[in-house]
Amino acid sequence: MRTRTGLVVGGCLLMAYAVVGALTDADLAPAGVLLFLAAVLVGHDVVWMAAVLTVGAALTRVPPRCRPAVRTAAITAAAVTVVGLPLALGFGRSADNASVLPLPYGRNLVAVLLVVAGTTLLACVVPVRRREAAADRKESERPAEGRP
């Protein structure tokens, strides 16, 4: 209990330090920070989660043997897109500095997503093929079973 109390009290003190520090930092507009905090919270809890839950509901229609692979693909695609989309949109590019965002990120993001999709497809198809091959082997072995 003492550990938990210490963590809670220490955490509250650090949060108070953050608030006082932000309010007294001449470089910082606290209103802008508050706006951004609210925007990311609402954006995540309302918009992003609605999309995630919709995709999650759609995943329940995927055959169970493929579901883990497709779920992994969906998580990976979403995460890579969060990182790659701001680069692909290219708002950070600079006219006089070619070393900033130097790659064709839109094309690269699509390529990474295609690799994820391809890997997922393989992960779904290969086990089925293997099972079929194993079944075929058993079929062909069956006549031999009765031989002396």
Binding residues (CB under 8 A) for other proteins: these are: 3-8, 10-19, 21-22, 25, 27-29, 31-33, 35-38, 40-41, 44-45, 49, 52-53, 56, 68, 71-72, 75-76, 78-80, 82-84, 86-87, 89, 91-94, 96-103, 105, 108-109, 111-112, 116
The CA distance from 83 to 87, in Å, is 7
Is residue 24 a contact partner of residue 50, using CB atoms and an 8 Å limit? no
CA 147 from chain centre, in angstroms, equals 55
> Which C-beta is closer to other proteins: that of 98 or that of 144?
98
Query: Smallest Cα–Cα separation from 91: which of 82, 99, 100, 80?
Result: 100
In whole angstroms, how close is the CB of 49 to other proteins at the nearest point? 6
> Which C-beta is closer to other proteins: that of 38 or that of 135?
38
